[in-house]
Structure 1
Amino acid sequence: MTSTVGDMYGPGTSVDKSFRPVPQECARLLEWLAGITPGFTKNLEALENVTFEGEDLPSIPGPVKSVALTAVLHAMAGIVGQEISEIRGHKPGQLKINTDHAGLWLGTPIIVTLDGRDANDLIQSGELDNIVPVTDKGCFDTPLRFRGWAIYKTKTPNTWYQIHTSLAPGPVFEAIGIDPEARGINTNDEAYAHIQAAVERYEARELEMIFRERGLCGVTCFTPKAWRETEMGIALARHPLIDYKKQTYIPDSPPVAFSKTADKRPLAGIKVVELGRVIAAPALCAGLGAFGADVVRIMSPHALDISGLQITLTVGKRECSLNLDLEHDRKQLWALLEEADVVVQGYRKGAVERKGFGLTALLEMATRRGKGIIYIDQNCFGPDGIYAEVPGWEQIADAASGCCYVMGKAYGFPEGTGVLPSLPIADLSAGAVGIVTTLLAIRDRALHGGSYHGNVAITAFQAVSLLPEVGLYQPEIVEKLQEKYDWASMTPDLDVEELLMVVYNAWAKKTDLLSREDFFVEFEKTAFGDRLRILAPVVKYANKEVSPRWVSAPRPFRSDKEVIFRRDE
């Protein structure tokens, strides 16, 4: 455990007494997280086979060690990938993780270059909207709707609340007395002031009750201590961050050998069905695709999603559309699931189950076919507890866990002010947690047989990042980062898209990170343009044939017609 000082950033925070460069901190955190993760190797030689390299300082603002922890998760995925490769008779060699690359990975949605033009240029010119098919129409097209994803001061002293209109603004606004079609609001600042006037009429506990009763997305900005003392915080803490178990209450099935393929990546021949949207589940499955899995993403023809994500997080997949209210489409999905090794569902707890595709149904299918299945549930608050079925996005995880409170404190705002972390850290890191979880289950199925169930909670990563065992950076390090990068102001009204651009612009102006070609992969003749450059996988082995990589470019949502897996080579 690192030596820390308590409560410097408020109740429940622990700040390092001394600074360790990010690569050194990663080595420490890898040993700690490996030691508390069920099923993960405790062999120190395996941990020492990882080389962390990168700059001493992290590349994102604030005191939370998101870059180091994310780099560690990629290292853990790489270690399990090595184990799988050795089972398959391949030798991956030394594992290398560049911590600066891992930091960029937290900005995945915005780090894209199309025909020589970066995302900032495409967004500012308005051309991105013409390049990617619109799948979030009506969600952000007015200032009022755009500011429906922000943090607001409540009537309760020193307590702020994250409201989140998801992709349906109307119900949230109506619940707090706002006309969703209010006129005369022409700027984002006017919209924020309008919503603030409504929110501050309520105590934080009143908002919790309103949002819970109506099944809406919102949560109090807790301190880390307050979150850990909630019933939900206690329930979530009972589970390890990387949480999977063999399902022993069903008939056992034999070990499943890996396919013999020309592709030497660890998961070549593994078939994955993705049922999810936005970032966390798609990031998880894109990672599995990089390790060699054949990933088919199933989307509803009617469901909304964030339009811009299809230019990055669809990489390495096919994107098929099925309406699960239609019997014909349900049969197509079942045919796919009958072949699948892994199912990843990223909707709120119970949603997919109500459609007939939950864990129990898939385990029954696996028993019938005599081949184990791996089922990954990814949601905001985990598998049990009073918030388990509450809808949640990464911003909800940020606020609930205490991260928003800590960021506000670190930036010098008045007590209780919440400010979002500067990147979609909770989502992308939950994706990394899910990659490790899935790899462990695939390894165990190959060695021991059976079916496995994994749970990935977005809030869990943020809660773990605030534990004393992890520690926070000292205020002088936060200030040093500000001096180095000259971040623009980060405030409670800003959404993650705006904060992403703050960080991206600093990377572009103050570093060479975005010109490091070893961090990127380029595709030619894509659906979006002739040359599309996105971030490459973070995990790198000495043996390039085994190293994770994508073999197909990103593509628009719902662009593939065939709902089938590729045949084994």
Structure 2
Amino acid sequence: MEITGGEDVLPGPFRVAAAASLSIAAATLAAAELARLKGTEPGPVSVDTGHAAAAFRSERYLRVDGGLPPDAWQGLSGDYRAADGWVKLHCNYPHHGEAVRRALNVPDSREAVGEAVARRTAWDVQEAVIAEGGAAAAMRTRAQWLAHPQGQALAGAPLAEFTAIGPAPVPPPRPSTSDRPLGGIRVLELTHVIAGPVAGRVLSAHGADVLHIGAAHLPTLPMLAMDTGFGKRSAHLDLRTAAGRDRLWELVAEADVFVQSYRPGALAGLGFTAEKLAQASPGIVLVELDAYGWQGPWARRRGFDSLVQMAGGIAAETATGKPEPLPAQALDHATGWLAGAAAMTGLRRRALEGASLRARLSLARTGRWLDELGRTEGGAAEPDVTDLLEKTESGFGTLTHVRVPGILPGAMPYWAHGSPLPGADAAMFSSPAAA
């Protein structure tokens, strides 16, 4: 395994480029092990740091028909100065914007929100928005986060926690003519935003049949659907209905991997618990992602990369008058790549040991890992990524995008097709049913 290139491809003191290289290397090495199980010699794995860093900013370089895609940051989203510091409000989804307006008792106006926030403490604003079902985070220093009960809950947590959710016989390989590492593997993906969709995108790059399940009544961010949908199918199911849940159970019975990134408890509340998933598909690998970790007082709290950066001391470290984010949505992307690696590791264990497994990861635990990597001087100039881009036709039009990073000579990763429009496909896998 070789990592090439220096870390000066991204600005800032955090070792984001190193985290990118390491997490992409983890996924590529996991794919190499699956290739060996299929009798393919994968060859020496390598990752270029510049390519990895560009992949961690893939949404920044995305173009559709030569133009910019719709901006993902919408509405009242942004950093606001409170009476004692800063608070970030995440309002990219309409219902989160409504929660902010209810919490602050203001109209749909950034000026009104700013005035209301300025009269209150950052913590008070955060908790008021959370109580209304919204998403917000007050800016804390690293020391404050490490002393916080949720920061302490992460101290003993592994980067990816594996547990068995039931014994299972080693399942026979699904018939497949593909010699790709994940050829014949079916993945059900119930995710949104970046981290979960990136995990599915990683698996599709190595040959998995990935079916993303969304819903027509739920909001989507077109730019992120364009950027993370490569190689997947996309279908809609309304899990509020018995028919929608029944169809999802039918798909679970056919799936090898189930990736979900909804708020902890949301899918379990509909009956899709880990134990029932393992009963429906013995040998399934369940990969779950959340924001703040799976233990502690914030385990069920809504969160996004930008909020975890605020809460976890990252945005405060180099703040000069206002919060300073990382040069990429690095917690999202790293967690997504590590989740892809966890899914493939689970599949290898399943093949060798026979078990239904669950892997859990969180943005906040990934943030702690990034902190533990130390600091670097960072780069200054915006890197030239021209040689890392390619064009692919999609349901949205012609997408210019960063190609898959990671070198696996015997089974190079690639996306078989571009991103589909949300809900464009039938709720079924594209690969043949198991015999």
TM-score (ref. length: structure 1): 0.72
Does residue 1:330 correspond to 2:245, yes or no?
yes
- Whether 2:412 is the aligned partner of 1:547: answer yes
Check if 1:557 corresponds to 2:422: yes
Q: What is the Cα deviation at residue 246 of structure 1?
A: 2.1
Provide the rounded CA distance (Å) in 2 between the counterparts of 1:457 and 1:391: 12
1:522 counterpart = 2:433 = no
Overall identity of the aligned pairs, in %: 23
Q: Give the drift of 1:567.
A: 0.8
1:456 — aligned with what? 361
Paired position in structure 2 for 1:471: 374
Match of 1:321 among 227, 233, 236: 236
Local SS of the residue matching 1:196 = helix
Is contact 1:223–1:401 with CA below 8 Å preserved after alignment?
yes
Please, which moves more after superposition, 205-214 or 225-234?
205-214
> What are the residue-to-residue correspondences of 1:420-499 with 2, within 5 Å?
420-467=325-372, 470-473=373-376, 477-478=377-378, 481-482=379-380, 485=381
Match for residue 4 of structure 2?
A: 53
Mapped to 1, the partners of 2:147 and 2:425 lie a distance apart of 47
Pick one of 234, 247, 262 that aligns with 2:152.
Answer: 234
Shift of 1:295: 0.4
CA contact (8 A) 1:160 1:220 kept: yes
Deviations 1:133-155 (A, max 9, x none): x9x8xx83xxxx2xx22222222
Partner of residue 214 from structure 2, selected from 299, 316, 321: 299
2:163 matched to 1:245?
yes
Provide the C-alpha distance between the structure 2 equivalents of 1:327 and 1:315, rounded to a whole number of angstroms.
30
Distance 1:390 1:175 in 2: 16
Aligned position for 2:306: 395
- Structure 2 counterpart of 1:389, one-letter code: R
Report if the CA contact (8 A) 2:44-2:408 is conserved: yes
Residues 551 and 340 of structure 1: is their aligned pair in 2 closer, same or farther, counting only changes over 3 Å? same
The equivalent of 2:102 in structure 1 is 174
2:55 alignment partner in structure 1: 105
Q: Which amino acid aligns with 2:364?
A: T
- Aligned residue in 1 for 2:297: 386
Supply the distance in 1 between the matched residues of 2:361 and 2:151 (Cα, whole angstroms).
Answer: 15
1:422 and 1:72 mapped to 2: Cα distance? 17
Structure 1 distance, partners of 2:278, 2:175, is 26
- The 5-angstrom pairing of residues 500-511 of structure 1 reads 506-507=382-383, 511=384
Distance 1:94 1:522 in 2: 27
- How many positions carry a matched residue from both structures? 432
In structure 1, what residue type is equivalent to 2:46?
Answer: K
Which residue, 80, 87, 90 being the options, matches 1:152? 80
Name the counterpart of 1:40.
none
Q: Is the 8 A contact 2:287 2:358 kept in 1?
A: yes
Pairwise CA distance, 1:562: 4.2
CA distance in 2, matches of 1:541, 1:200: 52
Residue 253 (structure 1) shift: 1.2
Distance apart, 1:462 and its partner CA: 1.6
In 2, Cα distance between equivalents of 1:83 and 1:68: 22
Provide the rounded CA distance (Å) in 2 between the counterparts of 1:195 and 1:201.
10
1:406 aligns with 2:317: yes
Partner Cα separation in structure 2 for residue 246 and residue 258 of structure 1: 20
Against the structure 1 CA distance between its residues 80 and 206, is the aligned structure 2 distance closer, same or farther, given a 3 Å change threshold?
same
Unaligned residue ranges in structure 1 (runs of 5+): 1-49, 183-190, 486-505
Residue 357 of structure 1 is matched in structure 2 by: 272
Contact 2:102 2:132 in 1 (8 A): no
How far apart, CA to CA, are the structure 2 residues paired with 1:542 and 1:375?
Answer: 29
How far is the alpha carbon of 1:260 from its aligned partner?
A: 5.1
Cross-structure match for 1:11: none
Cα distance in structure 1, aligned partners of 2:19 and 2:427: 38
The answer for the alignment partner of 2:87 in structure 1 is 161
Residue aligning to 1:343? 258
Is contact 2:27–2:340 with CA below 8 Å preserved after alignment? yes
Q: Residue type matched to 2:413 in 1?
A: P
How far apart are residue 555 of structure 1 and its match?
A: 1.4
CA distance in 2, matches of 1:261, 1:547: 18
Does structure 2 retain, via aligned residues, the 8 Å contact 1:296–1:317?
A: yes
Query: Matched residues in 1 for 2:390 and 2:170: separation?
Result: 35
Counterpart AA for 2:332 = D
> How many Å apart are 1:451 and its aligned residue?
0.7
**What SS is found at the alignment partner of 1:540?**
coil
1:477-521 CA-partner distances (Å, limit 9, x unpaired): 35xx33xx2xxxxxxxxxxxxxxxxxxxx44xxx3x2x21xx344
Unpaired stretches in structure 2, ≥5 consecutive residues: none
CA contact (8 A) 1:272 1:340 kept: yes
Give the 5 Å matches for 1:113-124: 113-115=63-65, 117=66, 122-123=67-68
SS at match of 1:532: strand
Which of the numbers 167, 181, 197 marks the counterpart of 2:115? 197
Task: Please tell me whether the aligned partners of residues 402 and 463 of structure 1 are also in contact (alpha carbons under 8 angstroms).
Answer: no
Shift of 1:364: 2.9
Which secondary structure does the structure 2 equivalent of 1:338 belong to? helix
* TM superposition score normalised by structure 2: 0.93
Code of the residue aligned with 2:39 in structure 1: it is G
Residues 246 and 315 of structure 1, relative CA distance in 2, 3 Å threshold: same
Tell me which residue corresponds to 1:309.
Answer: 224
Instruction: Tell me if structure 1 keeps the 8 A contact 2:187–2:208.
Output: yes
C-alpha contact 1:166 1:217 (8 A) present in aligned 2: no
Contact 1:224–1:466 at 8 Å: present in 2 too?
no
Where does 1:251-266 land on structure 2 (aligned, <5 Å)?
252-259=167-174, 261-266=176-181
* Structure-2 separation of matches of 1:549 and 1:57: 25
Q: Measured at CA, do residues 61 and 194 of structure 1 come closer, stay the same or move farther in structure 2, by a change above 3 Å?
A: farther
Contact 2:99 2:133 in 1 (8 A): no
SS at match of 2:80: strand
Q: 1:113/1:200 Cα in 2 relative to 1: closer, same or farther (>3 Å)? A: closer
**CA shift for structure 1 position 298:** 0.6
Displacement of 1:60 after TM fit? 2.1
Deviations for 1:285-306, whole angstroms, at most 9, x for unmatched residues? 0101111110001111100011
Q: CA deviation at 1:194?
A: 4.2
Q: Indicate the SS of the match to 1:298.
A: strand
Residues 1:422 and 1:177: Cα distance change in structure 2 (over 3 Å): farther
| Structure with higher RCO (Cα < 8 A, 6+ apart) | 2
Alpha-carbon distance in structure 2 between the residues aligned to 1:562 and 1:298: 8
Question: What is the alpha-carbon root mean square deviation over aligned residues?
Answer: 2.1
The structural deviation recorded for 1:549 is: 1.2
